Chain A
Amino acid sequence: MWLAMILFGAFHGLNPGMGWLFALNLGLQQRSEKVIWLSLLPIALGHAIAVIAVVLLVLAGLQFIPLATVQKFSALALLAFGFYKLFNYYRHPRWVGMKVGGVDLVVWSFLMASAHGAGLMLVPALLGGSDAAHPHHGAHALPQGAGMFLAVGLHTLTMLLVMGTVAWVVYRKLGLAVLRSSWINFDLIWAVALLIVGSIALWMAFAH
């Protein structure tokens, strides 16, 4: 579970479309390096909120629905979303504007993360982790919840670190021309990843 959280965090961190490029752009536009680093914080926050929203939803669900059912539902949701994304990987939320403040960035990042299913992707890992420690729902939800929030924190921290590193390397060393050669189709990879994780989760849910 922890490894998955870190890996997905790193993936979001690498993807220029998920934050670091926006931060870098704002810094360049305002001719201030400080702006680059400060902009990363609201972006990470927005991302975390999007993920936490899903976690809360899952925790709420666990109060009423058996874990195994939640696992199956989330796996199916992932597969359906992955399938949709596979053919619509290029669609993103329309959100027009370059002159943004901190709140704007939080909202933008929240939208991007939600629309890409960043939170949904983490559900199988979170459920898997809680499953191992606590096979039943109900009274144990709180400690489960604490573990989940820790996992989300770790995920977001990884994303922030990777975003910061990439932004620093591009800003200081590589230059923006690197976008032309290295901005690979993260959206397509993500769609495939959604499908893979969904399949594994479904298999695990039924293997119980």
Chain B
Amino acid sequence: MALWKPDPSFYPSAKMAMQAPPERHAYVAALNPAGTDKPDAICVVDLDPDSATYAQVVNTLELPNIGDELHHFGWNACSSALCPYAPHPHLERRYLIVPGLRSSRIYVIDTKPDPRKPQIIKTLEPEEVMAKSGYSRPHTVHCGPDAIYVSAMGSANGDEGPGGIFMLDHFSFNVIGPWELHRGDQELAYDFWWHLAQDVLISSEWAKPSQFENGLVAEDLLANKYGHRIHFWDLRKRKLQQTIDLGAEHQMLLELRPSHDPRESYGFAGVVVSTEDLSASIWLWYRDNDQWQIKKVITIPPVPADEKDLPDLLKGFKAVPPLVSDIDLSLDDRFLYVACWGTGEMHQYDVSDPHNPQLTGKVEIGGVVNKKGHPKVEGPLLGAPQMVEISRDGRRVYFTNSLYSSWDDQFYPDKMTGWMVKVDVDPGGGISLDKDFFIDFGETRVHQVRLEGGDASTDSYCFSS
């Protein structure tokens, strides 16, 4: 369909995007764990405070297959379409690209004409995805200026690596092929993003499918066999340029959040757990004389706990690790949100000086031991802050509580349910739970949240201001 002017949700710079109107609804990945015989779904949540159905699920698009394991997903197009080297300004931000992490199936979901009633318009079956991309277990989706980029955890044949990145055509959504031309010794995959205006792609490491699909493999973790390296690629030549090892004890290097300002060359990466002291950490990458450097800028210590309060996996440690799973950076590159899925805390750091983050806010909910409740519901809550999403203006933060079905059951064995909450942000720093916003998804678990018109982990900008 021909657009006469650029999609109104495209902005040349992050600064301009912060002036965008507030989001009116969110799309939330919902999964029904194995054994429930129910398919996964994309839920539409009403976020318009003036609506009668505010803070409720107004529609559930059930998928036609069972066991996809929805996890992350993304928009087909975003502000990167205005990048001048490959401009596609008349693409529409309209389709959600939704991979099944377990099934390797990819759904293309149309959010028009009625954004509250999305429809599947195309399905890439696992055989096709694997045959054309060379990969399986698709994960992160990013809208690039020239294609849709998708990371994948495994190779096409089997449960081992290497995982990597492949591309989808912007218009037909067909798999173009693997992205890398020279991958060096990169083997493990997880998240990726880029400094688009500097031709740099960054990728992180989680694990091989055999190390996560049936739950966290404790022996592998204690043997430091999960990912602990970060990779810097030449985005134009599709070539690995530099790899930094954080140290084998820093297990599971997950989310990558580069600065939104295209002139800056730094970003944040989260490490789930250190096998030396159970701490979690946030690392800052930055460029120094054309070489990438990385250093630990935040350490979050574990909390001692009584053995009887701990799940089997943690009993021997007599402590709850913070387990930093997701992090997210506001569009003005000022606040970094850090989800501690073990201890049940959401932290807000002022990272105006990225080398010296300052803790400016904290909310507590859920947690392995605390199980802290929410003002709107009675009783303790299982699960904890996990996938975080920040509104474009930076005033509202939404998060959900599920990590990955089989891992949820290991850390929260007492039948975790799915929920989504909202946090209000004080513009000067500081966060507080919105007492009236609590969405109960029941036995269905909820994962990534995508906001109407874009959010802080979707769009990339080629212009500074």
Neighbouring A residues of B236 by C-beta, 8 Å: 96-97, 99
Contact of A177 among B2, B12, B235 (CB under 8 A): B12
CB distance from B217 to the nearest CB of A (A): 37
Q: Does A95 lie within 8 Å of B12, measured CB to CB?
A: no
The residue in chain B whose Cβ has the minimal distance to the Cβ of A24 is B84
Q: Does A179 lie within 8 Å of B83, measured CB to CB?
A: no
* Cα distance A89–B82 in the bound complex, in angstroms: 16
In the complex, B324 has a CB within 8 A of chain A: no
The residue in chain B whose Cβ has the minimal distance to the Cβ of A191 is B2
In the complex, B314 has a CB within 8 A of chain A: no
Neighbouring A residues of B85 by C-beta, 8 Å: 22, 95-98, 100, 108
Question: Which secondary structure dominates where chain B touches chain A?
Answer: loop
Q: Does A185 lie within 8 Å of B90, measured CB to CB?
A: yes
The residue in chain B whose Cβ has the minimal distance to the Cβ of A31 is B263
Q: Does A90 lie within 8 Å of B11, measured CB to CB?
A: no
Neighbouring B residues of A96 by C-beta, 8 Å: 85-86, 146, 199, 235-236
| Contact string against A for B residues 438-465, beta-carbon threshold 8 Å, 1 for contact and 0 otherwise | 0000000000000000000000001111
In the complex, B136 has a CB within 8 A of chain A: no
| Contact string against A for B residues 239-280, beta-carbon threshold 8 Å, 1 for contact and 0 otherwise | 000000000000000000000001100000000000000000
Q: Could you say which interface size class chain A belongs to?
A: 20 to 34
Neighbouring B residues of A94 by C-beta, 8 Å: 86, 146-147
Known contacts: A98-B198, A176-B13, A176-B16. The answer to whether A28 contacts B464 by CB under 8 A is yes
The residue in chain A whose Cβ has the minimal distance to the Cβ of B4 is A185
CB distance from A112 to the nearest CB of B (A): 10
Neighbouring A residues of B199 by C-beta, 8 Å: 96-99
In the complex, B31 has a CB within 8 A of chain A: no
Contact of A25 among B5, B88, B463 (CB under 8 A): B463
Query: For residues 128 through 168 of chain B, which have their beta carbon under 8 Å from a beta carbon of chain A?
Result: 146-147
CB distance from B260 to the nearest CB of A (A): 14
Known contacts: A25-B462, A29-B262, A97-B236. The answer to whether A179 contacts B12 by CB under 8 A is yes
CB distance from B200 to the nearest CB of A (A): 9
| Contact string against A for B residues 180-200, beta-carbon threshold 8 Å, 1 for contact and 0 otherwise | 000000000000000011110
Query: For residues 177 through 205 of chain A, which have their beta carbon under 8 Å from a beta carbon of chain B?
Result: 177, 179-185, 187-188
Contact of A180 among B11, B171, B263 (CB under 8 A): B11
* Cα distance A24–B13 in the bound complex, in angstroms: 14
* Cα distance A95–B13 in the bound complex, in angstroms: 22
Q: Does B90 lie within 8 Å of A187, measured CB to CB?
A: yes
In the complex, A17 has a CB within 8 A of chain B: yes
Query: For residues 2 through 43 of chain A, which have their beta carbon under 8 Å from a beta carbon of chain B?
Result: 16-17, 21-22, 24-25, 28-29, 31
Q: Does A17 lie within 8 Å of B87, measured CB to CB?
A: yes
The residue in chain A whose Cβ has the minimal distance to the Cβ of B200 is A99
CB distance from A99 to the nearest CB of B (A): 5
The residue in chain B whose Cβ has the minimal distance to the Cβ of A20 is B84
In the complex, B329 has a CB within 8 A of chain A: no
| Contact string against A for B residues 1-32, beta-carbon threshold 8 Å, 1 for contact and 0 otherwise | 01111101011110010000000000000000
Neighbouring A residues of B82 by C-beta, 8 Å: 179, 183
Using a CB–CB distance below 8 Å, which chain A residues touch chain B? 16-17, 21-22, 24-25, 28-29, 31, 89-92, 94-100, 108, 176-177, 179-185, 187-188
A-B interface, 10 closest residue pairs, ranked by CB to CB distance from nearest: A97-B236, A22-B84, A21-B84, A176-B12, A17-B87, A25-B84, A96-B236, A98-B197, A99-B199, A183-B89
Query: Given contacts A98-B196, A176-B13, A184-B5, could you give 13 more A-B pairs where the C-beta distance is less than 8 Å?
Result: A17-B84, A24-B84, A92-B86, A94-B147, A95-B85, A97-B199, A98-B83, A99-B198, A100-B85, A180-B6, A183-B6, A184-B4, A185-B4
Using a CB–CB distance below 8 Å, which chain B residues touch chain A? 2-6, 8, 10-13, 16, 82-91, 146-147, 171, 196-199, 235-236, 262-263, 462-465
28 contacts between A and B (CB under 8 A): A16-B84, A17-B89, A24-B84, A25-B197, A25-B463, A29-B263, A29-B464, A31-B263, A90-B171, A91-B171, A92-B86, A94-B147, A96-B85, A97-B199, A97-B235, A98-B462, A99-B236, A108-B85, A176-B13, A176-B16, A176-B465, A179-B6, A179-B82, A180-B10, A180-B12, A183-B5, A185-B2, A185-B5
